Structure 1
Amino acid sequence: MMSRTLLAKLPPLCLSLALLLVFCVLPAHAARITGYRVIREPVCDRAGKRLLAVRSFERDGVPRLLVVDPETLASYDLPADSVKKSGDAGADLFRSTRLARALERYNSPPYRLQNGGAVRAETEVEGLFLTVDLCPSKRPFERDLFEAAAALGRGRAVPVAVMISGVWLSTHPQELAYLKDEIAAGRLAVTWVNHSYHHHYDPKVPLPENFLLAPGTDPLQEVLQTEELLLSQGLVPSPFFRFPGLVSDGGLMQRLKELSLIPVGSDAWLAKGEVPRQGSFILVHGNGNEPKGVKLLLPILKDKAPRLLPLPVAFGPNTGAL
């Protein structure tokens, strides 16, 4: 930021322009999130719609709830007083929902060290699911891939799942502002997927002791810190999670289930030579760490113009049971 001495020497008009420039580049004010707790409570909104409250917290001192529609898999940040508990009847109904079925199916044995959970659409669909990992990185942001995706919309918001780490989010305010602008302009419809906070990785360590399996890692805090950070920025975490490196074990899977989160892997990690087909979860990195994947993706988006689908569509039909 400019020093007071330098600002004092500027003419009035230049001073105004300088101050405007300074404040434009500062990150947007983040809300204060406190009292963040994991819950699982069936609730109803004022219209009688049944939802599942999965987190309670205060934002700038005001009680809020993070809730998930268990049929559409959409998530919402709602005032706590805008819903009411639905009791045992709601709990019974939840067990037959789309969310409950996905949690049971994808967080259960057999457990794989890599690429556990959902890797593609459950049913036949006409389209692909674009998932973009934003692991911690100091390399340039891959803006081209988001622009190429947005160009497919032709006036409609294009769905993209952004797998975001807390460290990337907290160190890239300008890139985050760009994504927010694309959403506000109706060019992108982003599903915010938790990708852990620190995303620890040591290339010299074997997978069973790496990523979230590294000794001393607190998986609960890795999840919750990222959720809090998203909410502080006015972004709503989805009921999905991508393991760093796609590495996990049975203990991590069970923890995700307790947190009401569905693990999302991939059957089309482009940089590893995997070829997408209808229903695939495409995996690329938008943080500059894996340019090969972006280089392979851009011709797919520009030449083949695939239909990109929202991530919840992959998890079976919406039965409308609630």
Structure 2
Amino acid sequence: MSRSPLAKIPAFSLFLALFLFFCAAQAQAAQITEYRVIREPVSDRSGKRLLAVRSFKCDGVPRLLAVDPETLASYDLPADSPKRSGDAGADAFRATRLARALNKYNSPPYRLQNGGAVHAETQVQGLFLTVDLCPSKRPFERELFEATAALGHGRAVPVAVMISGVWLSTHPQELSYLKEAIASGKLAVTWVNHSYHHHYDPKVPLAENFLLAPGTDPMQEVLQAEELLLSQGLVPSPFFRFPGLVSDGAWMQRLKELSLIPIGSDAWLAKGEAPRPGSFILVHGNGNEPKGVKLLLPILKEKAPRLLPLAAAFGAKAEPISPPPLTGGGRGVGELATQRK
């Protein structure tokens, strides 16, 4: 019986090759420093209103993470490109789609599990696919993303990727695959923060598990994941998915202060929840929950549903993610670091 080509490589050499590959991937990452939470209304040169939610330096250059409060698209912009709007901008922000969503979905009554938005606000003809990438050592569900991309027939298919920092930092090849799928126009990804560590202990009750575990640093879990996304040239969206969908009132209020909308699900397939128009489908793309993927693949391949960008669930225009022209050097949701100027 013939041996695999990898079997002819000495174990140490194989380990060294993998280590060097990982180091090379890390070396390509930008350095994010001085990362701060802000909430400042700004506008671009055309007068389009944005909300700056983070300030930081990328390889020493000041930049802003900003959100369009009506389309819910997010942008990584040079800090000197937007114009500060002052008090008038702050008053106008209170009537925007983002402000309404923050007030609605981060408010009581608080549920231990599956709080926040779980379904489209209005009637829509389509579904919202959300794919969780929790920390995992199991094989990546590549077929899931290929089947999703196949729905586009040449157009980018919207999908929300709920990504944890630990998964992102330990899966450079899989991340490269997703970046290539975006660059080639196959997928339009909304990058959703799924916390950095995504702690989980199957022996501990929900009220003391996931992000409710004693000793959890909330700001680290949220902001470190955002920094990591930005370092890889990926723009965080104004959405957040709680690990295990587990949260409490304190966490909901914290997300509101961070300008993040919590995203739950009414169609967690592995738990037997069937999708209907407007559903937030939840599956895992990290190999941790193959049952969900097994149930989803026939839906994608046989029923060919219309998938919508997550922002459309809140009344934003249901079109593939395509940021409007801002000042030079801006990157929109789903764009890659190669477009940073």
TM (norm. structure 2) is: 0.86
- Distance in 2, matches of 1:99 and 1:67, equals 12
Note the 1:289-308 alignment, pairs <5 A.
Answer: 289-308=288-307
* Counterparts of 1:123 and 1:84, CA distance in 2: 33
Matched AA of 2:93: F
**Structure 1: segments with no counterpart, 5+ residues:** 1-18
Alpha-carbon distance, 1:161 to partner = 0.1
Check conservation: 2:72, 2:316, Cα contact below 8 A.
no
Which residue of structure 1 aligns with residue 280 of structure 2? 281
Superposition map of 1:249-268 within 5 A: 249-268=248-267
Deviation larger for 135-144 or 28-37: 28-37
Residue segments in structure 2 that go unaligned for 5+ positions in a row: 1-16, 318-341
1:26 corresponds to: 24
Structure 1 residues 184 and 266, CA gap change in structure 2 (3 angstroms) = same
Q: Aligned residue for 1:91?
A: 90
Q: Deviations over 1:15-39 (max 9, x none)?
A: xxxx9xx769931600000000000
Secondary structure of 2:281's counterpart equals: strand
SS in 2 for 1:78: strand
Taking the TM superposition and a 5 Å limit, the aligned residue runs for 1:107-256 are: 107-256=106-255
Alpha-carbon shift at residue 316 of structure 1 (Å): 2.4
CA separation in 2, counterparts of 1:35 and 1:214?
Answer: 27
Structure 1 CA distance, aligned partners of 2:57 and 2:123? 41
Cα shift at 1:112: 0.2
**SS, match of residue 95 in structure 2:** coil
8 Å CA contact 2:22, 2:172 repeated in 1: no
Q: CA deviation at 1:76?
A: 0.2
- AA in 2 matched with 1:284: V
The letter of the residue matching 2:231 is S
The SS at the match of 2:36 is: strand
Distance 1:167 1:248 in 2: 20
Given residue 101 of structure 2, which amino acid in structure 1 is its aligned partner?
A: A
Displacement of 1:152 in angstroms is 0.1
Query: What is residue 13 of structure 1 aligned with on the other side?
Result: none
Identity of aligned residues (%): 85
CA distance in 1, matches of 2:21, 2:275: 44
**One-letter code of the match for 2:133?**
L
Matched position secondary structure for 1:81 = coil
Secondary structure of the corresponding residue to residue 130 of structure 2:
strand
Matching residue of 2:327? none
Q: How does 1:32-111 map to 2 (within 5 A)?
A: 32-111=31-110
Summarize deviations over 1:265-307 as a string: whole Å, max 9, x none: 0000000000000000000000000000000000000000000
RMSD: 1.5
SS of aligned partner of 1:168: helix
CA distance in 2, matches of 1:271, 1:184: 31
Q: Distance in 1 between matches of 2:173 and 2:272?
A: 31
Question: In the alignment, what sits opposite 2:339?
Answer: none
Structure 2: how far apart are the matches of 1:60 and 1:25?
Answer: 18
Tell me which amino acid in the other structure corresponds to 2:42: V
* Cα pair distance change 1:23/1:263, threshold 3 Å: closer
Task: Pick closer, same or farther for the CA change 1:295–1:215 going to 2, 3 Å.
Answer: same
SS in 2 for 1:289: coil
- Residue 317 of structure 1, CA deviation: 4.7
Alignment partner, residue 12 of structure 1: none
1:75-118: CA deviations, max 9, x gaps?
00000000121000000000000000000000000000000000
Instruction: Tell me the alpha carbon deviations over residues 3-56 of structure 1, each in whole angstroms, 9 at most, x when there is no partner.
Output: xxxxxxxxxxxxxxxx9xx76993160000000000000001122111000000
Contact 2:117 2:265 in 1 (8 A): yes
- 1:117 and 1:206 map into 2 onto residues whose CA distance is 21
1:251–1:176 CA distance, 2 compared to 1 (3 A): same
State how far apart, in whole Å, the 2-side matches of 1:113 and 1:216 are: 18
Of structures 1 and 2, the larger Rg is shown by: 1
Q: Deviations over 1:150-189 (max 9, x none)?
A: 0000000000000000000000000000000000000000
Secondary structure (helix, strand or coil) at the match of 2:306 reads coil
Equivalent position amino acid for 2:92 in 1: L
TM-score (normalised: structure 1): 0.91
Distance 1:273 1:211 in 2: 22
